[in-house]
Copies of this chain bind each other. A is one copy, B any other.
Amino acid sequence: MAQRATITQVAQRAGVSIASASRALNGLTSATATVEAVRAAARELGYIPDATARSLKLGRTLQLAYAVADIGNPVYVEMMAAIQEVVSGAGYRLLVTNTGDAAGTVDLVTSLQRGYADGMVLSPLRVTDELVAAVAQSPVPVVVLGRMPESAGVDTVAPDSAGGIALAVAHLHAIGARRIAFVNGPADTIPGRVRGGAFVAAAGPDAPVVSAADFTAAAGHAVAHALLSGPDRPDAVLAANDLLAIGVLHAADQLGLSTPDQLAVVGVDDTELGKLFRPALTSVDLGASERGRRAAELLLERLNDPHKKPQQVVVPAALSVRRSSDVKGEPMADDARAPHQQDQEGER
């Protein structure tokens, strides 16, 4: 563990003042001879400028934070990977935090006042008034992944859940499904509410909807087993995410229902799991990676121009059709864009 050299030592060794050393190192006006001497001294001493001191002086940390409720969730990981890439490309380091519950999220946003990061991408579990207030109060810009009232005055990036689910319902109708059921997650979550509402809008108020205890395969299996054993068995199921859909496939298999012939199944999120499962799962791609990328870009843009108008970006959805809903009627398009995506983004 080597001892670190300071700019003072570099200056001494080069025989110049500290200011000259700083200038030479940062490429400001200085004589060629000075630059060389300083560079040499720095090299010999293995000098690397201290990030903390620099931050204190400059008023910026060159760090950005990504806060999310459950860092184990593949969708958030996908976003994180995209964010990490954009952010590091711009010379920033990425801080990752688990918010846990809703209260934790508010604390986290207020903690930004400590000034350990120049901005934050926040993926909140729920949007409370308290959270909106905290975000508005934040001393550094926050970009929210999800929707927020425009009055909050923050940049947001949201998926086009409604468009994506409409796409899935249309697809199921097209392959001849007569009775489409929706397997939702808990209705008191944001995705549960939004996706459930979108399904009703797309499939009509009479389409059957059941809610699983949480967004897991086990919960999906439990609720699907009942659904598929009961009267008026559906011939297609749209699940609120891929895990639930896998649970549905398990139940169908267990009950001896063949997929897709007797039961077509579609998920949401288009995860790796769905692609590798057999039968491969048709799924609504909500563009997690793209959302992460856009959020990071919006944050960087706002850092450059704090006064620009807040944007509400909606990332378009797509449908990846695979074996779990692929019957002869439908051509094997691997990808379809949402027709009614409401991308409200402005310039760029």
Contact = CB atoms under 8 A, between A and B. Distances in A.
Contact of A2 (B48, B97, B139, B243): B139
B278 A50 contact: no
A85 B249 CA distance: 33
A55 interface: yes
Interface in A31-78: 46, 48-53, 55-56, 61, 63, 71-72, 74, 77-78
A4 B56 contact: no
**Tally of this chain's copies:** 2
Interface string A78-122: 101100110010000111111000000000001101111000000
A232 interface: no
A276 interface: yes
Nearest to A77: B77
A249 B52 CA distance: 52
Contact of A140 (B1, B74, B88, B111): B1
Nearest to A153: B1
A278 B55 CA distance: 52
A272 interface: yes
A56 B6 CA distance: 13
Contacts of A306: 1
A235 to B, nearest CB: 21
A334 to B, nearest CB: 15
Interface string A231-248: 000000000000100100
Interface residues of A, number: 54
A68 to B, nearest CB: 10
A264 interface: no
Contacts of A81: 71-72, 98
Interface in A1-15: 1-4
B115 A52 contact: yes
A113 B71 CA distance: 28
Given A72-B77, A273-B272, A273-B276, A50 B114 contact: yes
Nearest to A66: B96
22 contacts: A1-B138, A1-B140, A1-B306, A2-B113, A2-B137, A2-B139, A48-B113, A49-B114, A50-B115, A52-B52, A52-B61, A71-B84, A72-B78, A74-B74, A77-B77, A81-B98, A84-B98, A88-B97, A93-B95, A253-B278, A273-B273, A278-B278
Given A272-B273, A277-B277, 6 more contacts: A1-B138, A1-B141, A2-B113, A52-B61, A93-B97, A94-B97
